[in-house]
């Protein structure tokens, strides 16, 4: 099939590369010339496992191209995916200006029948708004061209997005035209190796599915963090609690971990957006609001452990920090707990020696820590611990799971570790001579 993808961010680039991998002819379009030049040269300007190889291979096979020319893209495609950003507004609602701006451009430029697919995460009713924008522009042009707007939410986790797209847990299609649904089924057929993964419904229902999924997972994380905090106070071990709970098929093992709070581009934004949507319809989504409140509180738990141990005044203290990204497998710093934890320690006079396998460049951008003189970055994780008063683990990178503990002990001023990810066994750490504190224990 001939496919266009508008937007070459995290969702758009993965969508385009994966459709091309299955033999479709895909054009990805973006107004950012620098980003397009990077993609055209095979250099993917974001960190996502396996994406580089897909882009390089399909550029070579000429099944994937990148351009800034939207008009030409519209002429050459039959299915057009909108995958632009929907950042949160101050009131928590999703900013649809980019999505609706694209819809307006489509109406101004399209010259043949198109299936237009909302791939961006958007609130209920967006498909209708996209449809109205396109129709309004066609009316201004005085022409009638048939088009169909489809809701097709993405369920991609950063760090495993390529795998998630190639081996989807489900495909959700929101449309009211049987022929269009059949076309979308045909497009996704190569990805559905098992039956029962294709769900067709109306557009509004499909739009809710993505928000509902992320809100449920975010709530599950917040419940686990609350339970972990109770375990810490009661002297229980949350790691054993979660394992026993997860054995119940009604609860399940996935996402049964405690940590320093969820972050990233999806969970915080999507929970806020659904709370705002509920409010717009006259409903107070109290549990979702509490999920957000619990999460914000959780981001201070690790720094509070440090304060409880070393005091409120941390002037002159140095902390070796492992992990800056909101989770392993990505360089994304959006809503990362590391931002809250590190800023809290610095505000109390501490200095930070930080290491992250992927996100240190991102961390130094003006959007995050910038040129903060209280933070020094190290390419080597052990060098970040040299003469530090304690070690903090914030992100659960695999390379942090089995470190050289003897080397760590030599480097630290005192064998003191604060673990936000429950990576190590307390008994083992005690045997190795460490004073070890972790969330949930």
**Residue 287 main-chain phi, psi, to 5 deg:** -65, -40
**Residue 411, helix vs strand vs coil:** helix
Q: How many Cβ atoms from other residues are within 10 Å of residue 90's Cβ? A: 6
Q: DSSP letter at 89?
A: P
**C-alpha–C-alpha distance, residues 328 and 398, integer Å:** 8
Reported residue count of the chain is 441
With 0-12 / 13-18 / 19 or more C-beta atoms within 10 angstroms meaning exposed / middle / buried, residue 380 is: exposed
Q: Which residues pair with 115 in a beta bridge?
A: 79, 148
Question: 55 near 13, Cβ under 8 Å?
Answer: yes
258 contacts 228 by C-beta, under 8 angstroms:
yes
Of the candidates 18, 28, 215, 266, the residue annotated as catalytic is: 266
> Is 414:390 a contact under the CB 8 Å cutoff?
yes
| DSSP per-residue letters across 168-227 | -S-EEEE-S-HHHHHHHHHHHGGG--SSS-EEEE-HHHHHHHHHHHHHHHHHHHHHHHHH
Distance (Å, whole) CA 78 – CA 87 = 28
Active site (annotated) includes residue 266: yes
DSSP state at residue 94:
B
Q: Which residues are catalytic?
A: 266
């Amino acid at each position: 099939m001939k496919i266009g993808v508008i937007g070459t961010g995290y969702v758009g680039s993965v969508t385009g590369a994966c459709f091309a991998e299955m033999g479709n002819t895909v054009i990805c379009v973006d107004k950012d010339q620098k980003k397009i030049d990077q993609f055209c040269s095979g250099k993917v300007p974001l960190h996502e496992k396996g994406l580089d190889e897909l882009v390089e291979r399909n550029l070579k096979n000429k099944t994937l191209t990148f351009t800034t020319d939207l008009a030409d893209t519209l002429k050459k495609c039959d299915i057009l995916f909108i995958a632009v950003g929907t950042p949160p507004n101050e009131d928590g609602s999703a900013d649809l200006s980019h999505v609706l701006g694209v819809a307006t451009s489509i109406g101004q430029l399209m010259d043949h029948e198109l299936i237009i697919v909302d791939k961006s995460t958007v609130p209920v009713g967006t498909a209708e708004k996209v449809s109205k924008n396109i129709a309004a522009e066609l009316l201004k042009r005085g022409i009638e061209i048939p088009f169909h707007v489809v809701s097709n939410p993405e369920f991609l986790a950063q760090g495993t997005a390529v795998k998630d797209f190639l081996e989807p847990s489900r495909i959700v299609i929101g449309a009211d035209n049987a022929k269009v649904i059949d076309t979308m089924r045909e497009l996704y057929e190569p990805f559905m190796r098992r039956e029962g993964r294709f769900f067709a419904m109306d557009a509004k229902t499909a739009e809710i599915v993505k928000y509902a999924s992320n809100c449920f997972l975010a709530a599950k994380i917040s419940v686990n963090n609350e339970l972990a905090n109770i375990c810490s106070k009661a002297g229980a071990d949350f790691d054993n609690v979660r394992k026993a709970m997860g054995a119940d098929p009604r609860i399940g093992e996935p996402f049964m971990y405690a940590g320093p709070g969820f972050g990233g581009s999806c969970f915080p934004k999507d929970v806020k957006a659904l709370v705002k949507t509920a409010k717009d319809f006259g409903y107070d989504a109290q549990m979702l609001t509490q999920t957000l409140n619990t999460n914000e509180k959780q981001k201070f738990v690790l720094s509070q452990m440090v304060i409880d141990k070393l005091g409120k005044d941390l002037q002159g203290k140095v902390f070796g920090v492992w992990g800056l990204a909101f989770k392993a497998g990505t360089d994304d710093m959006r809503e990362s707990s590391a931002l809250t934890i590190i800023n809290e320690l610095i505000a109390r006079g501490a200095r930070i020696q930080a290491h992250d396998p992927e996100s240190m460049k991102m961390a130094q951008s003006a959007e995050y820590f910038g040129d903060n003189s209280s933070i020094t970055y190290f390419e080597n994780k052990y060098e970040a611990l040299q003469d530090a008063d304690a070690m903090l683990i914030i992100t659960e990178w695999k390379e942090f799971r089995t470190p050289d503990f003897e080397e760590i002990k030599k480097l630290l001023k005192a064998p003191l570790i604060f673990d936000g990810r429950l990576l190590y066994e307390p008994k083992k750490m005690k045997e190795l001579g460490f004073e070890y504190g972790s969330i949930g224990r």
